[in-house]
Structure 1
Amino acid sequence: MGAGAVAVDGPAGYAHLLDPNRTWRNNKRLIILNAWITLLLITSSTNGFDGSMMNGLQALPQWQSAFNHPGSSMLGLLNAIQNVGALVALPFAPYLSDGMGRRPSVIFGAGIMVVGTVLQTASQSVGMFIGARLLIGFGLTFASNGAAMLITELAYPSYRATQTSLFNSLWYSGAIIAAWSTFGTFKINSSWSWRIPSALQGIPSILQLALLWFGPESPRWLMSKGREAEALQVLAYYHADGNKEDPLVQFEYEEIKAAIDLDRAVADTVGWMSLINTPGNRKRLTIVVAIAWFSQWSGNGLVSYYLNQVFETIGITDPTVQLLINGILQIWNLAWAVSAAALVERIGRRTLFITSCVGMLLFFTLQTVCSARYAITKSDSAAHAVIAFIFLFYASYDIAFTPLIVSYTLEILPYPLRAKGFTVFAFVISLALIFNQYVNPVALRNIGWKYYIVYCCWLAFELFFCYMFIVETKGHSLEETAALFDGDDAVDQIYARGRPSGNEKDIKESFSES
Structure 2
Amino acid sequence: MGAGVVAVGGSAGYTHLLDPNRTWRNNKRLIALNAWIALLLITSSTVGFDGSMMNGLQSLPQWQDAFNHPGSSMLGLLNAIQNIGALAGLPFTPYLSDGIGRRPAVIFGAGIMTVATVLQTASQSVGMFIGARFLIGFGLTFAANGAAMLVTELAYPPYRAPLTSLYNSLWYSGAIVAAWSTFGTFKINSSWSWRIPSALQGLPSVLQLALLWFGPESPRWLVSKGRDTEALHVLAYYHADGNKEDPLVRFEYEEIKASLELDNAAAATVGWKSLICTPGNRKRLTIIVAIAWFSQWSGNGLASYYLNQVFETIGITDPTIQLLINGILQIWNLAWAVSAAALVERIGRRVLFISSCAGMFLFFTLQTVCSARYAITKSDSAAHAVIAFIFLFYTFYDIAFSPLPVAYTLEILPYSLRAKGFTVLNFVISIALIFNQYVNPVALHNIGWKYYIVYCCWLLFELAFCYIFIIETKGLSLEETAALFDGEDAVDQIHARGRPSGEERSTKEYVSED
Query: Normalized against structure 2, the TM-score is what?
Result: 0.94
Tell me if the contact between 1:103 and 1:212 (Cα under 8 Å) persists in the aligned partners.
Answer: yes
Q: CA RMSD in A?
A: 1.8
The answer to whether residue 41 in structure 2 is matched with residue 41 in structure 1 is yes
Instruction: Map 1:287-298 onto structure 2 (within 5 A).
Output: 287-298=287-298
Quote the offset at 1:339 in angstroms: 0.3
> 1:230 matched to which residue of 2?
230
Quote the offset at 1:413 in angstroms: 2.1
Instruction: Map 1:153-302 onto structure 2 (within 5 A).
Output: 153-302=153-302
Quote the offset at 1:246 in angstroms: 1.1
Quote the offset at 1:195 in angstroms: 0.4
For these two proteins, the number of residue pairs brought into alignment is: 501
Letter in 1 for 2:122: A
Tell me if the contact between 1:275 and 1:281 (Cα under 8 Å) persists in the aligned partners.
Answer: yes
Provide the rounded CA distance (Å) in 2 between the counterparts of 1:210 and 1:470.
Answer: 40
> 1:121 matched to which residue of 2?
121
Tell me if the contact between 2:306 and 2:441 (Cα under 8 Å) persists in the aligned partners.
Answer: yes
Q: Which has the higher contact order (CA 8 A, sep 6+)?
A: 2
Tell me if the contact between 2:97 and 2:419 (Cα under 8 Å) persists in the aligned partners.
Answer: no
SS at match of 1:368: helix
> 1:5 matched to which residue of 2?
none
Quote the offset at 1:412 in angstroms: 1.8
> 1:367 matched to which residue of 2?
367
CA shift in 2, pair 1:383/1:85, >3 Å: same
> 2:408 matched to which residue of 1?
408
> 1:55 matched to which residue of 2?
55
Provide the rounded CA distance (Å) in 1 between the counterparts of 2:153 and 2:487.
Answer: 26
Q: Deviations over 1:124-181 (max 9, x none)?
A: 0000000000000000001101101111111111100000000000000000000000
Letter in 1 for 2:490: A
Tell me if the contact between 1:11 and 1:157 (Cα under 8 Å) persists in the aligned partners.
Answer: no
Residue identity over aligned pairs, in percent, reads 86
Provide the rounded CA distance (Å) in 1 between the counterparts of 2:470 and 2:166.
Answer: 20
Letter in 1 for 2:487: G
Moved more, 352-361 or 280-289: 280-289
Q: Deviations over 1:341-382 (max 9, x none)?
A: 011110111100000000000000000000000000001000
Provide the rounded CA distance (Å) in 1 between the counterparts of 2:260 and 2:281.
Answer: 20
Provide the rounded CA distance (Å) in 2 between the counterparts of 1:309 and 1:174.
Answer: 21
Quote the offset at 1:421 in angstroms: 1.9
Provide the rounded CA distance (Å) in 1 between the counterparts of 2:440 and 2:338.
Answer: 28
Quote the offset at 1:506 in angstroms: 6.4
Unpaired runs of at least 5, structure 2: 1-9
Letter in 1 for 2:141: T
> 2:6 matched to which residue of 1?
none
Quote the offset at 1:487 in angstroms: 3.0
Provide the rounded CA distance (Å) in 1 between the counterparts of 2:62 and 2:308.
Answer: 15
> 2:339 matched to which residue of 1?
339
Instruction: Map 1:467-486 onto structure 2 (within 5 A).
Output: 467-486=467-486
Quote the offset at 1:415 in angstroms: 3.0
> 2:429 matched to which residue of 1?
429
Unpaired runs of at least 5, structure 1: 1-9
Quote the offset at 1:17 in angstroms: 0.9
> 1:384 matched to which residue of 2?
384
Provide the rounded CA distance (Å) in 2 between the counterparts of 1:502 and 1:314.
Answer: 64
Tell me if the contact between 2:258 and 2:494 (Cα under 8 Å) persists in the aligned partners.
Answer: no
CA shift in 2, pair 1:36/1:286, >3 Å: same
Tell me if the contact between 1:373 and 1:379 (Cα under 8 Å) persists in the aligned partners.
Answer: yes
Letter in 2 for 1:122: A
> 1:17 matched to which residue of 2?
17
CA shift in 2, pair 1:428/1:166, >3 Å: same
Q: Deviations over 1:447-483 (max 9, x none)?
A: 0000000000000000011111111111233333222
SS at match of 1:417: helix
> 2:5 matched to which residue of 1?
none
CA shift in 2, pair 1:257/1:279, >3 Å: closer
Letter in 2 for 1:340: A
Tell me if the contact between 1:46 and 1:201 (Cα under 8 Å) persists in the aligned partners.
Answer: yes
Provide the rounded CA distance (Å) in 1 between the counterparts of 2:346 and 2:94.
Answer: 32
Provide the rounded CA distance (Å) in 1 between the counterparts of 2:183 and 2:321.
Answer: 9
